[in-house]
Amino acid sequence: MNRQMVTLIMIFASVLLASLLGVAGPYLMGRAIDDYLTIKNLDGFVSIILLMLLVLRIEFFFFSWLMSFFNSQSRARSCKGDSFRSV
């Protein structure tokens, strides 16, 4: 498997994970309001809020890593060079 295919698979997996993490926050907020806040179960509400903070922290770490990994100039330059050499 060549380097471009590995990079493309990594980008696809990253976009998929980013989409799932982006949907997790609103989903958990809906669960927190519907299942815990409306019946005044503050213990459950706090646990969902803490879970949301954990998901937000994971999302922030993931995006930071993703940007540092894919934005390196050498990676972009080598991918561009490999693409033009194969044409």
Kindly report, residue by residue over 59-77, the tens digit of the pLDDT: 888 777 777 776 665 666 6
Residues with Cβ within 8 Å of residue 11, at least 6 apart in sequence: 70
Tokens (6 digits) for 24 = 């997790």
Under the banding of pLDDT at 50, 70 and 90, the label for residue 82 is low
For residue 66, the model assigns a pLDDT of 74
Nearest CA among 72, 59, 74, 75 for reference residue 7: 75
The residues, any chain, with a CB within 8 Å of residue 18's CB and separated by 6 or more, are 59, 62, 63, 66
Task: Determine the Cα angle at 73 with ends 59 and 14, to 5°.
Answer: 30
Q: Which two tokens stand for residue 49?
A: 């809020």
Nearest CA to 61 out of 7, 17, 5 is that of 17
Could you read off the pLDDT of 20-60 as tens digits, one per residue?
A: 888 888 898 898 888 888 888 889 899 999 999 998 888 88
